[in-house]
Structure 1
């Protein structure tokens, strides 16, 4: 198979490939970029594998950076671009079920491709677009099959994260996991406990942001991978239901975790605990809790100006999108109309600030000032007070007097 119209990312890297070949070595594009090009998907970067050893690469090119030289990876800098080249290698001794204890550089493309995870990722391509397929990856692409290179047991013991990658690819690519590979995941699912939570989280997020989530979620559940993920064991019924249901299109990690946590009915501190176990960022936790507030308001018919104001338009629209799955009946246009009609967008839009209150009311700095600003903000947002200085000062004076 020869790909005639190569994406620009490959075209720009061809001089690098030719320079390596002119020096007497082999060079191939490898990995996901080759797979995605054949599938007609966009690619974002290219990986180059070569028979040249790192020191040999550094002799060919004037500008290089040792980005991972112990594993054979050198970045070639050319015309403002960086191209990572990795020497053909074999690996052995995966004591942590993630990284090899020993890497050996070799001159054989086949030996290098044998260590890769799935046949669809073990394709190589010459700079002229000729695809090298040593493990029937092209057939598996045609048949939409995810299959390990060689024995599934060996591949998953080398890197247990590959099991999550398998279900993620299923959800992203609309592929089915081949039976022996699926059995290998089932038999080795417990190895996932050996993998850092952060890495598992990234794969689950990518799965949930795929176009065909059910195709990945179903094996995630049936192989019991979910049992070896943080805090997931109690939620088999919900996860099973989601694996058989068309869920909303999720476009970010915040949307993924907002949806999952609402679906398993987590709120407040329980939700925070769950997300911390998954090692999400504090920003994601804050956003998820806010989005939950808006969904709850939608589901209980308590959506108003203050809810939208406190959440902001972006998070409110996420909440509306997710609420549809839970049979909420508020439209995106309603959210937008409420947001557009808000007299202020934030507290900084108030026509008075703490300094003005202290000066005009003759009060001392302290909790009362903050309390007054909160009251004024609330009254303006709800349309009870107009946002002009005289009105706000007058109302604040009355409240301050009542506070004594």
Structure 2
């Protein structure tokens, strides 16, 4: 196959490959960027593989960075863009199912490609657009099939995360996993427990937000791989429920985790926090999912949120909650929810027309817990429409609250 029209990302990188080949070495675009170009998908990055050893690559370019030189990777800086360029290599045994004990640089493209995970990722391309396909990856791309390069079990023993990657690609690309590859995942599923949670989480999130998540979930269930994911060993029923939902797609990781929290029965903040911390997500995401989950429960129970709930949840988490509610069959009109949120007198506590300094100057309080309590009462009164967000009215209200506390 020869691709006659290359994306601009390849054209921009062409001088890098031309410099390497002019020096007598081989250089190719490799992996996912070649796969996605053939599939007509946008490129996220451009990876280059070469027969030149790291020191030889560095000698050809003025500006390079040793991003992973022990594994043969050098970042070439060209006109403000960085291109990761990796020397052809073979890898030794994998004692921990994650990293090779050692790597050996080689001059052979075939030796380099045969260590890759799946045939559709073991494609190389010259700057002319000619695709080098040594493992029938083009046929698998055309058939929509994920197949391990060589012996599937060997590939998964080299890096057990490749099992999750297979499941994820099934979702992202809407591909089937070839039967021998799927059986090898099932036979070696327990090895996933040896992989860092953060690496597994990336694949899980990409699966849930893929174009065909039900295909990935079906493979996850068929192989029992889910048993070795954090907090998921006893959640087969939740995954089956997710798989049985009408066709759906999730727009982002926040909606994915909100849905997973709901289906796994996590309703309280502590439960949600424990789930997401087990997956080592960010504190920001945990707070977002906690807020969205609260809104989701309100939508399920009442079909709406109170003014205070709207204020506490916030617009972004409210939108997440309604996206998930829609998937679950109890979503509301987003326009009406947006209108209710917009109608709030204020949307942030810092918009309150009085602060602690105002209360002190008015002689209503002294520094201490009472100040916070009065400000909280003022905030609630404004949110619920009992008092206008105006300084004079709020000071009068604060005086009334202070007097009631002194009685």
TM-score interval, smaller chain: over 0.9
1:215 Cα deviation after fit: 0.6
Aligned residue in 1 for 2:298:
297
How many equivalent pairs are there?
404
3-state SS in 1 of match to 2:240:
helix
1:325 Cα deviation after fit: 2.4
Q: Distance in 2 between matches of 1:258 and 1:160?
A: 27
Moved more, 183-192 or 229-238: 229-238
Q: Distance in 2 between matches of 1:323 and 1:181?
A: 36
Aligned residue in 2 for 1:158:
158
3-state SS in 2 of match to 1:272:
helix
2:389 to 374, 382, 387: 387
Structure 2: gaps spanning 5 or more residues = none
Aligned residue in 1 for 2:283:
282
Q: Distance in 2 between matches of 1:382 and 1:239?
A: 40
Aligned residue in 2 for 1:373:
375
Is residue 2:187 matched to residue 1:187? Answer: yes
3-state SS in 1 of match to 2:244:
coil
Aligned residue in 1 for 2:20:
20
Q: What does the per-residue CA deviation read over 1:263-321, in whole Å, with 9 as the maximum and x for residues that have no partner?
A: 11112212211111111111111111111111111111151211111111111111111
1:1-400 map, 5 Å: 1-246=1-246, 248-268=248-268, 269-301=270-302, 303-400=305-402
1:247 Cα deviation after fit: 5.7
Q: Distance in 2 between matches of 1:68 and 1:327?
A: 48
Aligned residue in 1 for 2:405:
403
3-state SS in 1 of match to 2:258:
helix
Counterpart contact for 2:324–2:331, Cα < 8 Å:
no
Q: Distance in 2 between matches of 1:360 and 1:320?
A: 43
Moved more, 181-190 or 313-322: 313-322
Q: Distance in 2 between matches of 1:137 and 1:361?
A: 77
Q: Distance in 1 between matches of 2:125 and 2:331?
A: 51
Q: What does the per-residue CA deviation read over 1:218-244, in whole Å, with 9 as the maximum and x for residues that have no partner?
A: 111110110001111121111022123
Q: What does the per-residue CA deviation read over 1:161-211, in whole Å, with 9 as the maximum and x for residues that have no partner?
A: 000000000000010000000000000000001100110011000000101
3-state SS in 1 of match to 2:362:
helix
TM-score, scaled relative to structure 1: 0.98
Q: Distance in 2 between matches of 1:247 and 1:231?
A: 25
1:248 Cα deviation after fit: 4.3
TM-score, scaled relative to structure 2: 0.97
Distance 1:61 1:256, change over 3 A: same
RMSD (CA atoms): 1.1
